[in-house]
Structure 1
Amino acid sequence: MAFDFDFDLLRDVTETSGVPGYEDRVRDIVRDELEANTDHVRTDAMGNVVGTVEGDSDYSVAIAAHMDEIGFMVKHITEDGFLKLDALGGWDARVLRAQRVTVHAEEEDITGVFGSVPPHTLDDDADEKEEVGDRVVDLGRDTEEVEELVSVGDIVTMDQNTIKMGDTVTGKALDDRVCLFTMLEAARELESPDVTIHFCATVQEEVGLRGATALGVDVDPDLAVALDVTIASDIPGVSEDKHVTALGDGAAIKLKDSSVITTPKVHKRLKAVAEDEDIDHQFEVLPAGGTDTAGFQNTYGAKPVGAISIPTRYLHTVTETANGDDIHATIDLLTAFLDSETGEYDYSL
């Protein structure tokens, strides 16, 4: 059952490029999907996309997942034709060595690689000195050609395919495209909800939850539930108390992260729905990291909020890895939660 969902769509949304502020290609996919499965779709000035399913009640629920992935912007071309980059989102410089990238120039997409000094010539303390700003991209061209093709401000993304690996899926940008996919699948499955549902594909989450914060004002829901990946450090070398979540144990119901403490009555109802529907689930207490949930909690007055996360190993790398059954459990939990929402639950404290 691990891949009993539209893997082709998941592959499309994860492999497609879209860094903060430049989510255009992903946004096109999202709009097509939401236009087919919601009553109306709109895009705001920041690029957030909202597909609305009108319910019988004025009560409204916002479901949010972000479209952007971490990436880079070209800030300088050296006299030797190498590219120096500015990070868009949080990178660990160690994972960039010897990786292939795509430079999204005005006329075409260009393949490049992050240069890596051979180990024979490395100093013993080279790792300690390495920072993202020190990395350079080699396009395999002379300086004149590079300057003709590339400009300061061009976007750079990692080049990686999304594949099945045993019971898991691995690739780039599962953060947060696997949850974006989950939201699109729930929009497909939802039928005649009692309340109005806003499916929100947000922008610029990786640089400070900017899209969700603006959208919290514009949509102004009665209840908001965000979807994002979370840490699964269930790997050798990490103590059990630092695993946060584990692959294969189901959808993660968030209790807190560094940006939000979810509303107790919301996460308790998510738990109740999971138990009633026999959906595998676990709890998430994330010590660091923020999600779009916080963008809705107090942007336009206090709102009840919840969050569902998909456990993911190796976050912010090109080999992010999630379990197929966990993805399916998240789709099922989100759909069941929305199907059962009547607008009459009391989430007040």
Structure 2
Amino acid sequence: MNGTDPSFDIDLLAELTEIGGVPGYEDRVREVVRRELEPEVDRLRTDGMGNVVGTIEGTSDASVVVAGHMDEIGFIVKHVTDDGFLQLDPLGGWDARVLKAQRVTVHTEEGDLPGLIGSPPPHTMDEEELEGRDEVADVRVDLGLDADTVAEQVSVGDLVTTRQSLEWVGDHLTGKALDNRVSVFALIEAARRLKAPTATVHLAATVQEEVGLRGAKALGVDIDADLALGLDTTVANDVPGFEAGEHVTELGGGAGIKLKDSSAIANPKVHRRIRSLAEERSIPHQTEVLPAGGTDTAGLQFAGGATPAGAISFPTRYLHTVTESVHVEDIAAGIDLLVAVLETEGGDADYAL
């Protein structure tokens, strides 16, 4: 890789984004998270859904839970055609227009198979076909194998992820699954940096966010924390075709501090405390008002009762594509802000409204 030398472990971020882990099948990501968190925390556990929680014991009775989801949007094989092509069912929200001519990995019991989603050449398509609406149901995966071999190697229920490496593009890092492996990466970096926090800190890598915040909802029942923080990517529409009021956030503008998304409204006192810390420590930041889309913040906020909640976000262009892009300085700012919140949370703040 080339580009600005970041203040964090770029190789680990690349590993996290490049491996596959769709909702409910986050095994490979979970292995990396366990490997990296274990030496940094006092306790490490997984639960029946697959959430990973690393706990750093504090010196007070107060506790904080921070959640970032491990899963990426992907597919499950629903049918193998007689001519050896795969039909898919989506796991998470896809815009089918971005799937044409993409490379994929089919995860079978016998190992991974490379494949591609083809796109017929325009030379052979009529005007109606060229202007037609793309649907995930119409997608077919071509494995480059004869039908008998495909039938032997691929089964209904096998998983499919897009295939992409993490690359520098100017000051940006681009690839697949930055939503939300960049936040999982931030959890690990925070664990490395936290020293003797006052509040007990639960760092949670959650599952099945992309299909309804399911892992965080279960975790919110199991962990009775005094403060909940969500970590996720957020929209950066600072590209041609959008007015300034539609940007939500801008790359290079710093960490996003959430006011609301479609699933949660941040506790005003929590939001103000996060913003004040960013100002005091000169951490680049920007306010986030996300008109659509939910995050684990909501799963934690009320699953186990009324919990004060806030969120830190990583501005990201081209969400839910294989060219998701984040600014390297925004990643650094988000990690710095997370650590600042966790190391100063002492349990003495009154978040009741």
Which residue of 1 is the match for residue 222 of structure 2? 218
Amino acid at match of 1:9: L
Q: Which runs of 5+ in 1 are unaligned?
A: none
Contact preservation (8 Å) 1:2, 1:323: no
Amino acid at match of 2:279: E
Amino acid at match of 1:165: V
Which residue of 2 is the match for residue 301 of structure 1? 305
User: Per-residue deviation at 1:226?
Assistant: 0.6
Q: Could you tell me the TM-score, scaled by structure 1's length?
A: 0.99
* CA distance in 1 between partners of 2:261 and 2:12 (Å): 29
Equivalent pairs counted in the alignment come to 349
Amino acid at match of 2:55: T
* CA distance in 2 between partners of 1:91 and 1:81 (Å): 24
Q: Deviations for 1:6-45, whole angstroms, at most 9, x for unmatched residues? A: 0001001010110000000000000111101100100000
One of 175, 180, 186 as aligned partner of 2:179: 175
* CA distance in 2 between partners of 1:41 and 1:347 (Å): 28
In the alignment, is residue 201 of structure 1 matched against residue 205 of structure 2? yes
In the alignment, is residue 229 of structure 1 matched against residue 224 of structure 2? no
One of 131, 138, 144 as aligned partner of 1:134: 138
Q: Deviations for 1:128-166, whole angstroms, at most 9, x for unmatched residues? A: 432001000000111110000000000000000001111
One of 22, 25, 31 as aligned partner of 2:25: 22
Q: Deviations for 1:239-292, whole angstroms, at most 9, x for unmatched residues? A: 111100000000000000000001000010000000010000000000000000
User: Per-residue deviation at 1:121?
Assistant: 2.3
Amino acid at match of 1:302: A
Which residue of 2 is the match for residue 41 of structure 1? 44
Which residue of 2 is the match for residue 104 of structure 1? 107
- Bigger drift between 336-345 and 123-132 goes to 123-132
Contact preservation (8 Å) 1:175, 1:316: yes
* CA distance in 2 between partners of 1:317 and 1:262 (Å): 27
* CA distance in 2 between partners of 1:125 and 1:280 (Å): 48
Which residue of 1 is the match for residue 97 of structure 2? 94
* CA distance in 2 between partners of 1:257 and 1:154 (Å): 33
Structure-to-structure mapping, 1:1-349, within 5 angstroms? 3-126=6-129, 127-349=131-353
Q: Which runs of 5+ in 2 are unaligned?
A: none
SS of the residue corresponding to residue 129 of structure 1 reads: coil
* CA distance in 1 between partners of 2:61 and 2:77 (Å): 46
> Judging changes above 3 Å, is the alpha-carbon distance between structure 1 residues 10 and 135 closer, same or farther for their aligned structure 2 residues?
same
> Judging changes above 3 Å, is the alpha-carbon distance between structure 1 residues 44 and 123 closer, same or farther for their aligned structure 2 residues?
same
Q: Could you tell me the TM-score, scaled by structure 2's length?
A: 0.98
After the TM superposition, which parts of structure 1 deviate over 4 Å for at least 4 consecutive aligned residues?
none
SS of the residue corresponding to residue 247 of structure 1 reads: coil
Contact preservation (8 Å) 1:101, 1:159: yes
Amino acid at match of 2:261: D
Contact preservation (8 Å) 1:262, 1:307: yes
* CA distance in 2 between partners of 1:125 and 1:36 (Å): 58
- Identity, % of aligned pairs? 62
Contact preservation (8 Å) 1:257, 1:286: yes
Contact preservation (8 Å) 1:20, 1:204: yes
User: Pairwise CA RMSD of aligned residues?
Assistant: 0.9
* CA distance in 2 between partners of 1:60 and 1:220 (Å): 8
* CA distance in 1 between partners of 2:220 and 2:127 (Å): 49
* CA distance in 2 between partners of 1:178 and 1:204 (Å): 16
